[in-house]
Chains A and B, each alone.
Chain A
C-alpha cells in the first residue's frame, strides 16, 4: 500500500467517513464562490467599486489596525486600533448585555411563571415587548441616551431581556405538575422546587430563548450601531459604505458572520447538548 492511501485510510478512521464527506462536499460551494470572486478580478465583470478584490479585503484588516500601538492600546479600545476596537466593542456589548440580561430575564421569568395569575398578567406585556422588536427601540434610545455606548447596549439588553423573560416564563408553565409535587412530598421547600424543578425543567425553553436572543440581539445590535452608535462592527460597515470603502464593508460582514457562528457553535450548542439532550427533553414550541 502506498503512503498516500495509508494516510487517507488513517484520516478516514480518525475523523469518520461521513464527516469527511460532509466537509468536502460543504467546501465545494465556498471554493466555487472564492474562485468566481477571483475571476472577477481578472475579467472585471463587476466594477471593483462594487466587488472588492479578495486580497484587498484581507489587507483591509491590517490597514485598519496599522496605527495601533501594541496590545495595551488595543485593549484600551484606542481609536488608532480601528479593527480591534470595533470588534471588541461589539463583542463587549454582547457580553455585557448577556451578563446582565440573561440572569435577569431568566430569574424574573421563572418567578413570573411560578404563579399562574401573575404570569397571565405579564404574558401580554411579554408578547407586546417582544413584538416591538429591538430595532424599533433605536430612535427612542437615541432620544434617551444619545448616540453611543448606552444606546447600543440598551437595544441589545432590551432584546435579550424580554426574550429570556418570556421564554423562561412559558418554560416554567409547561413543566408537569408532578415534578414539583414529587419534590414537595420529599420535604423540599419552595426554593428547592425553583432550583430542582423550575430551572432545569424550563431549560429547553430557556436555551431556545438564548438562541433567539443571540439571533435577534445581534441583528438589533448591528442595526443600533449603524444608526445610533459610534463604534462597533455595525458602525464600521455603515460608515465604510458611505465612504465607498467596499473592502472594509466585506471584511466587517465576514467578521460579523464568523463571530455569530462561533457563539452558536462553541457556546449555545454545547450548552444545549450538556443539558437538554443529556436529559432527553424535547422542546415543543407552544
Chain B
C-alpha cells in the first residue's frame, strides 16, 4: 500500500520539487531565519533563558537523543495521537453518515452537536480530570472528543452534497433505499471522509500537545512544559520545532496525499 506506484511517483515528484529551484528557495529561507535568530539571540543579555541560539538548541537535541528521552517522548505523543484519533474517527464517521442519510435524525442532533463542538476538547479537560484524574485515560478522552466533531460534520455535509441526480439514477434503475445508501451515499462521501479525517487529526494533534501539558503525562507537550519550568529554554524551542516539523511531515506526506488520492479516485467533482 505504502509503496504503490502512486506513492512512488509522488515521492519522485517530491524529490524533484526539492532538488530544483524550490530547494534553493527553501534552504535560503531556512538559512535566513537561522541567521536572524542567531543575531537576536546574541543581542540578548541572557540568551540561555530567553532565546538560545540555534546551535544551543541543536546541542540540547543531541543530549536528549543520547539519553533516549526524545525518541521515547516522540513515540508516546504519536501513539496517543493514533489511538485517540482512530477511536474518534471510528465513532465520528458512522455518526456523520447516519445524520447525513436521515434528515429527521440530523435536524434532531445537529444543534446539540454544534453546542458540544463549540465547547472544544481543551475546555472539557478540567471536567475529565475531575472524573479520571491526571491519567492517560484523560488525554485519550480529550483527543477522542476533539477528533469526533470535525469528521462527523464533514461527513454529514459530504452526504448532503452528493448530487441528487445520482440518487435519482439509481432509483430509476429500481434501487432500494439500502442499495442507494450502499452504492451512492457511501462511496460518494468517501472524499469527505478523507478530508474530515485530515481535519480531525489536525485538531487531535493540538489536543495531544495541550493534554500532555495539562495532565503531565510524558510526551512532547510535557517535555516543553517541564523544560520551561526548569528554565531549559533550548529544550522548549527544540520541542516546538519538533512539534511543527512532525505535523508538517504527517500532514503533507501522509494525510494530504491520502486525501488527494481519495478525492481523485472517488471524487464526484461537480462544480
Interface residues of A (CB under 8 A from B): 21-22, 25-30, 33, 49-50, 120-121, 124-125, 127-129, 131-140, 142-144, 216, 218-220, 222-223, 226-227, 234, 237-238, 240-241, 244, 246, 249-250, 252-253, 256-257, 260-261, 264, 282, 284
Query: How many chain B residues touch the partner (CB < 8 A)?
Result: 56
Closest 5 CB pairs of A and B: A241-B126, A139-B228, A26-B111, A132-B244, A260-B118
The reply to whether A222 and B209 contact each other, CB–CB distance below 8 Å, is no
The reply to whether A28 and B108 contact each other, CB–CB distance below 8 Å, is yes
Distance (whole angstroms) from the CB of B46 to the closest CB of chain A: 11
B116-130 CB mask vs A (1 if < 8 Å, else 0) is: 101111111111011
The reply to whether A253 and B214 contact each other, CB–CB distance below 8 Å, is no
Chain A residues whose CB sits within 8 angstroms of the CB of B49 once the complex forms: 143
The reply to whether A249 and B210 contact each other, CB–CB distance below 8 Å, is no
Counting chain B CB atoms within 10 Å of each CB, the highest count among A28, A29, A125, A133 belongs to A133
Chain B interface secondary structure, helix, strand, loop or mixed? helix
The reply to whether B130 and A136 contact each other, CB–CB distance below 8 Å, is no
Given A25-B107, A140-B236, A219-B206, A253:B127 Cβ within 8 A: yes
The reply to whether A237 and B123 contact each other, CB–CB distance below 8 Å, is yes
In the complex, what distance in Å separates the CA atom of A219 from the CA atom of B124?
11
Chain B residues whose CB sits within 8 angstroms of the CB of A21 once the complex forms: 107
The reply to whether A244 and B130 contact each other, CB–CB distance below 8 Å, is yes
B122 contacts which of A125, A223, A284 (Cβ < 8 Å)?
A223
The reply to whether B240 and A132 contact each other, CB–CB distance below 8 Å, is yes
The reply to whether B127 and A142 contact each other, CB–CB distance below 8 Å, is no
- The reply on B225 being an interface residue by CB < 8 A is yes
In the complex, what distance in Å separates the CA atom of A186 from the CA atom of B245?
46
B96-139 CB mask vs A (1 if < 8 Å, else 0) is: 00000000100111111011101111111111011100000000
The reply to whether A222 and B122 contact each other, CB–CB distance below 8 Å, is yes
Distance (whole angstroms) from the CB of A73 to the closest CB of chain B: 27
